[in-house]
Amino acid sequence: MATVRLTAAQALVRFLTEQYVQRDGIEQRFFAGCFGIFGHGNVAGVGQALQQYSGGLPYYQARNEQAMVHTASAYARQNNRLRAFACTTSIGPGATNMITGAALASINRLPVLLLPGDVFASRGPDPVLQQLETPHDGTLSVNDCFRPVSRYFDRVARPEQVIPAALAAMRVLTNQAETGTVTLAFPQDVQTEAFDYPDAFFEKRIWHVGRPMPDAGAIERAAAMIRSSLRPMIVAGGGVIYSEATAVLQRLCERTGIPVGETQAGKGSLRYDHPCSLGAVGATGTFAANRAAREADLVIGVGTRWTDFTTASKTAFQNPEAHFVNINVADFDANKHAGLALVGDARSTLEALDDAIAGYEVKRAYREQNAGESQEWDKEVGRLYALDHGPLPAQSEVIGAVDSFSDPEDVVVCAAGSMPGDLHKLWRTRDSKGYHVEYGYSCMGYEISGGLGVKMAAPEREVYVMCGDGSYLMMNSEIVTSIQEGYKLTIVLVDNSGFSSIGALSRSVGSDGFGTHYRYRKEGSIGLDSEEAPGDVLPVDLANGAESLGAYVIRTENIEGLKRALADAKDVDRTVVIHIPVDRYEGVPDYDSFWDVPVSEVSEMESVNSAREEYAKSKEKERRYL
C-alpha cells in the first residue's frame, strides 16, 4: 500500500480537507475551516499543518476560545448541521476556555470538532507549563474536563492513532442523532511526530446523511391515535428545521387543521401568520399555544427534546387523556413522556404519517377556534410593539422596531436574559432560517459570536444581534473578528444597567432584585429594586467600548431614533452597534405558563413567604406523563 510521511497534525488536517457530506443528492465539503488561537501547545503542530494546507482548510483567527466555539456552533446550525468548523487551542486555559462552548454544542446537538493541545505524551519534560499534576492519576490532564460535555472524546497518544480517531470523529459529527462536540485531545509532542500514513486515508470520503424511517407498525399506531383524537396538537422543534420539513409540516396542517406550537429551536417551522400557527409554546409561550396545549388530548412532538421551557415544567399539558407521539431521529428523545416513539427523520416521517391519516381532519369548530386564537395573539403582539412607554422605551418596542424593519430572510440572533423569552413570544417569523436563538444552554455571551457564525453561513442575509448589556459585557471580543473577516453584523445593544431577566426572577421569588443591578455599593449593599436612586448607576459607556473595538456606533434613546439608526446602519460597510437604553421593569407578561424555580421553604422575609405560597400552588399542576 502506498504511503505518505506526515506529522500527526498534518495528517489530521489533510484528512479534514477531504471530508464531504451528502443528503438528498446534494454533496458539499463538511469543514468550512478552522478557528484557532495558537500557543506553545499547538503552534508547531496543528498551526504548522493549517499553514501547510490552508487551501483546503482555511484558518480563522479568533479573540476568545469560548467565542470561536460559539461561532462554529452557529455556523453549523444555520447550515442545518451539514457543515462545520474545527477549533484549535493550546493546552491549558486556552483549552478549558472552550468547555462552555463544547457544552453548548452538545446540548444543542450541533457538530463542532475541537482540537485542544495536550501535555507531552512522552512525559519527558513533565511538569510542563500549564500542566495539571494529579497525584492519584498520571493520565489526567485538564482536557479530561471535556469528557462529560463531548459526544465523543479521544486522546491521540500516538501518531498512528490519528486514523481511527479521525474516522470515529466523523461518524459522530455526521450522525444526526448523536452529533455534538467531538474532542480530540492532541499532545503537543505527538502533533509534530511523523508516521507513514496510507494514501487511502486521504482520499475523498463522502458521509451520507440519510432519512431513516420508523417501522410501518409504529406509523400505523400513530395514525390510529391521531384519527381517534379530538384536539390534537403538534409541537415543532428544531428537528423540523434541520430536516427541512417545514413544507411537509405546512401541508399536513393545512389538510388536517392540526395546530402547531413551536419551541425556541423550532420557531419558524410555520410562518407567524399561518392560521395553524399558534406561536411559541411553554414557559415563554403565547396564550394561543398554551391554551391549546392545556386542552390537547394528543401531542405530536416533532424534533423536540421536551425541555422544561417547552413543557412549562410539565404543567402545559393538563388534559388527563393527553398522550404523546414523538417523531425524532434520536430514540432517547422519541421515547420521552412515555410517548409512542417514531424514530426517524422528521421530514420523511411526517410524509409517511400524512399519507397514513389521509382523509382525517379536525372538526371545523376546533380549526376555527385555533385560527381565531392566532389572530388574537397577533393583536397582542401589535399592542406590545406599540406601547409608547416612557421615558425609556420597553424592550418589546425595541423588538418590534427591529422586527418591522427587517426583511423576511434576515436573521435575528440572541441567547440569554429576558430577550429570548420575549423574542420567542413576539418575533414574527417569516422564514424558517430567520430566527436563531440559542436556548438549549442559554449562554450569555453567545450573541455576537453566534451572529458571526450565522453571517459566515449566510453572508447574503442581514444579521441582527439582539444583546443585553449583561451578555455584551461577558463577551464582545468577536466584534473585532467580524471586522477583520468582513462579516457585517448589526448589533442592537439593549442597556438596562444590570441583569434584567434575573432581576425579574428575583422579584418573583420575593428577593427584590438582589444582586442584579450595576450600581455602586452603599452601606454594604449593591442594590435592591426598592433602593434604586438617581446617580446610583455605574458610569460604564458601552457604546464607547464598542467604538474602541472598531464598530460603527449609533446612540439613541427612543424608538423613533432606533428606526432611523436601523435605516442608517444599512449604508455602513462594517459591524454596527446601536446602543439604546430601556426600562428594566417593563416586561412582557407570562401567558398561562409556569417555570419551576424553587422558592425558599422558610424565610425571615415576608415577601419570600408569599412567593413560596404562590409557587406551591403552581407546582400542584405539574404532572408525570406516563
pLDDT at residue 382 above 80?
A: yes
Task: Say which CATH number the domain at 343 has.
Answer: 3.40.50.1220
Q: Residue 242: what pLDDT?
A: 98
Q: What percent of the chain has pLDDT over 70?
A: 100
Closest by CA to 100, choosing from 524, 444, 586, is 444
Q: Residue 329: what pLDDT?
A: 98
- Let me know if residue 592 belongs to a domain: no
Q: Residue 44: what pLDDT?
A: 96
- Let me know if residue 520 belongs to a domain: no
Please give the residue range of the domain that contains residue 281: 216-377
Q: How far apart are CA 69 and CA 99, in angstroms?
A: 9
Q: Which residues of 565-599 are buried (b: 16+ CB within 10 A; e: fewer)?
A: bbeebeeeeebbbbbbbbbbebbbebbbbbbeeeb
Beta strands in 246-363 (DSSP E): 260-262, 277-280, 298-302, 323-328, 340-343
Task: Say which CATH number the domain at 17 has.
Answer: 3.40.50.970
Residues 432 and 405 in one domain: yes
Banded pLDDT at 48 (limits 50, 70, 90) = very high
Structural domain count, the chain: 3
Beta strands in 372-505 (DSSP E): 411-414, 435-437, 463-468, 490-495
pLDDT at residue 527 above 90?
A: no
Omega prior to 127 cis, within 30 of 0: yes
Q: Residue 249: what pLDDT?
A: 98
Q: How far apart are CA 509 and CA 505, in angstroms?
A: 6
- Let me know if residue 532 belongs to a domain: no
Q: Residue 592: what pLDDT?
A: 84
What's the whole-number mean pLDDT along residues 568-583? 97
Residues 362 and 246 in one domain: yes
pLDDT at residue 534 above 80?
A: no
Residues 575 and 442 in one domain: yes
pLDDT at residue 524 above 80?
A: no
- Let me know if residue 131 belongs to a domain: yes
pLDDT at residue 381 above 80?
A: yes
What's the whole-number mean pLDDT along residues 189-200? 98
What's the whole-number mean pLDDT along residues 163-186? 98
Q: Residue 480: what pLDDT?
A: 98
Who contacts 190 (Cβ-Cβ below 8 Å, separation ≥6)?
Answer: 8, 45, 121, 156, 157, 158, 159
Dihedral, CA of residue 464, residue 466, residue 471 and residue 473, to nearest 10: 70
Closest by CA to 545, choosing from 448, 402, 411, is 448
Residues 305 and 449 in one domain: no
Q: Residue 390: what pLDDT?
A: 87
Residues 200 and 297 in one domain: no
What's the whole-number mean pLDDT along residues 366-375? 97
Average model confidence (pLDDT) for the chain? 96
* Eight-state DSSP code of residue 55: T
Q: Residue 39: what pLDDT?
A: 96
Residues 333 and 420 in one domain: no
pLDDT at residue 523 above 80?
A: no
Residues 224 and 174 in one domain: no
Is 401 strand, coil or helix?
helix
Q: How far apart are CA 224 and CA 229, in angstroms?
A: 9
Is 463 strand, coil or helix?
strand
pLDDT in tens, 387-435: 999 899 999 999 999 999 999 999 999 999 999 999 999 999 999 999 9
**Cell numbers linked to 525:** 449593599
Q: How far apart are the first and last CA of the chain?
A: 57
pLDDT in tens, 70-93: 999 999 999 999 999 999 999 999
- Let me know if residue 167 belongs to a domain: yes
pLDDT in tens, 449-490: 999 999 999 999 999 999 999 999 999 999 999 999 999 999
Tell which of 377, 408, 425 closes a domain: 377
- Let me know if residue 559 belongs to a domain: yes
Residues 107 and 144 in one domain: yes
